[in-house]
């Protein structure tokens, strides 16, 4: 009989912890390790290191969005170094000289690495989360140079600029499906 009570208690705790009501903002969505292969494949197809660095080197022309914001108005779009970094995986001679893993901050000094086949992004759970959440990586989406826009997001009662593209927005919507 005690085993049934323990199983029931575990079931209740599990159901309660999975409740949507417990999610107070999008940064707390527990998708780590549970992203579907389709969501990952979508990100892998539509976000690239080369796009990210290219949009940093040659910033998109014009102003987009409802309020005519320009790319240069957002420091997180005009710098590769920021509050967050991706892990780069090095192979071949680069690995021999710099080690197997380096921070994406190193692209500030070596931007040509973005097109080097010996450099790739470690596509772990942080990668998929960072390209969804942080403006800093918006330039990596393939449509960033022609279709980006700024909007406002409210997190914990504070407003925050959110830089999106149609593809990034679609990815953000897909991300919440998690299965």
- Each residue's pLDDT tens digit, 118-139: 999 999 999 999 999 999 999 9
Is residue 8 situated within a structural domain?
no
Tell me the whole-structure pTM to 2 decimals.
0.76
Is residue 170 situated within a structural domain?
yes
**Does residue 69 have a pLDDT over 80?**
no
Is residue 100 situated within a structural domain?
no
Is residue 94 situated within a structural domain?
no
Q: What mean pLDDT do residues 51-75 have?
A: 79
> Exposed e or buried b for every residue in 100-125, given b needs 16+ CB within 10 A?
eebebebbeeeeebbeeeebebebee
Q: What mean pLDDT do residues 131-150 have?
A: 94
**Does residue 65 have a pLDDT over 70?**
no
Q: What is the pLDDT of residue 117?
A: 97
Nearest 10 degrees: CA dihedral of 18, 23, 29, 31?
10
Q: How far is CA 174 from the centre of its chain?
A: 13
Is residue 169 situated within a structural domain?
yes
- Give how many domains the chain has, as a whole number: 1
Planar angle of CA 23, 24, 28, nearest 5 degrees: 65
Is residue 146 situated within a structural domain?
yes
Is residue 17 situated within a structural domain?
no
**Does residue 63 have a pLDDT over 60?**
no
Task: Name the residue among 117, 130, 113, 154 with its Cα closest to residue 47.
Answer: 130
Q: Which residue segment(s) compose the domain that 74 sits in?
A: 26-84+125-175
Q: What mean pLDDT do residues 45-58 have?
A: 96
Is residue 10 situated within a structural domain?
no
């Amino acid at each position: 009989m005690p085993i049934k009570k323990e199983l029931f208690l575990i079931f209740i705790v599990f159901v309660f912890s999975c409740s949507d009501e417990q999610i107070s903002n999008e940064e707390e969505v527990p998708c780590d390790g549970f992203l579907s292969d389709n969501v990952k494949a979508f990100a892998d197809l539509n976000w690239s290191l080369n796009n990210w660095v290219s949009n940093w080197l040659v910033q998109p022309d014009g102003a987009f969005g409802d309020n005519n914001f320009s790319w240069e108005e957002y420091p997180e779009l005009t710098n590769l170094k920021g509050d967050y970094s991706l892990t780069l995986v090095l192979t071949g001679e680069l690995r021999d000289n710099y080690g197997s893993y380096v921070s994406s901050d190193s692209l500030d000094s070596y931007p040509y690495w973005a097109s080097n086949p010996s450099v790739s992004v470690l596509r772990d759970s942080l990668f998929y989360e960072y390209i969804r959440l942080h403006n800093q990586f918006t330039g990596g989406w393939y449509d960033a140079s022609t279709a980006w826009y700024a909007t406002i997001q409210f997190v914990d009662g504070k407003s925050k600029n959110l830089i999106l593209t149609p593809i990034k927005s679609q990815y953000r919507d897909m991300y919440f499906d998690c299965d």
